[in-house]
Amino acid sequence: MLICQNSEINVLVDLLRKDEVVAVPTDTVFGVCARYDHIQAQENLRDLKKRPETKAFPIMCADMEQVLQICEMCEEEKRVMNQFMPGPLTMILKKKKGVPSFVNGGKDTIAIRLATSPILAEMIGKLGVPVYMTSANVSGEPAALTVEDVPGVKAALAGKVEFAQASTIVFYGEAGWKVLRQGPILLQQIQEATSKGKKD
């Protein structure tokens, strides 16, 4: 496996353009990613993860502009994204009409993260489209915390993870915010931040 430094991200971008899977450090765990808009890229990622087709992958965007290209957001969701992302948070958002059904297994929602470091934002920005981003391990096995733990990719970005814990997953509905998976960010933090934002 080729280990790339930050100055060599063009190598990773070229591989992503060819539907290859590459490994990168996120703030929570080591991840593997592939471009979101090509079926072949998704299949390559599924083969690596041994993940069933019924289970959709989270998507990481370079910035809010990319998020709004594929998802609909209310003001409350935008407020939380601006407050906590980039960071160890995944938001379940409504998919925009026109986004191919294969992207998220035919569901109405997409799990979204913002790039968790400037170098990841640069890589995704250079690619020009969001990427599937998921933990670098076979489904059901422990998450990879170092590049040495990552199986079966041609190249990886050097670096370390910060939290060593999967991100908090949240959904905003009629009953307010709900945590679907607990991670570093707590529901109370989100509720306090949004109530303060409304007062301001």
Mean pLDDT across the stretch 124-148?
89
Identity at 108, one-letter amino acid code: D
Mean pLDDT across the stretch 161-182?
91
| Domain made up of 2-77+94-166: CATH architecture | Alpha-Beta Complex (3.90)
For residue 58, the model assigns a pLDDT of 96
Q: What percent of the chain has pLDDT over 90?
A: 76
Q: Check pLDDT > 90 for residue 140.
A: no
End-to-end CA distance of the chain: 50
Query: DSSP E strands: which ranges in the chain?
Result: 2-4, 22-25, 30-35, 59-61, 71-72, 89-95, 109-114, 131-135, 155-157, 168-173, 176-181
Q: Check pLDDT > 90 for residue 137.
A: no
Q: Check pLDDT > 70 for residue 77.
A: yes
Work out the mean pLDDT of the chain and round it to a whole number.
92
Going by the DSSP 8-state scheme, the letter that residue 143 receives in this structure is: P
Q: Check pLDDT > 70 for residue 198.
A: no
For residue 20, the model assigns a pLDDT of 98
Mean pLDDT across the stretch 136-156?
85
For residue 39, the model assigns a pLDDT of 95
For residue 197, the model assigns a pLDDT of 56
For the chain, the domains span 2-77+94-166
Mean pLDDT across the stretch 36-61?
94
For residue 54, the model assigns a pLDDT of 84
Residue whose entry in the numeric block shows the structure tokens 């935008």: 78
pLDDT tens sequence across 107-117: 999 999 999 89
Q: Check pLDDT > 70 for residue 2.
A: yes
With CA atoms as reference, report the closest residue to 150 among 56, 55, 48. Answer: 48
Q: Check pLDDT > 90 for residue 148.
A: no
- Crossing angle of helices 75-84 and 187-199, in 10° steps, is 120
For residue 199, the model assigns a pLDDT of 55
- Residue 113 near residue 124, CB atoms below 8 Å: no
For residue 56, the model assigns a pLDDT of 92
For residue 143, the model assigns a pLDDT of 78
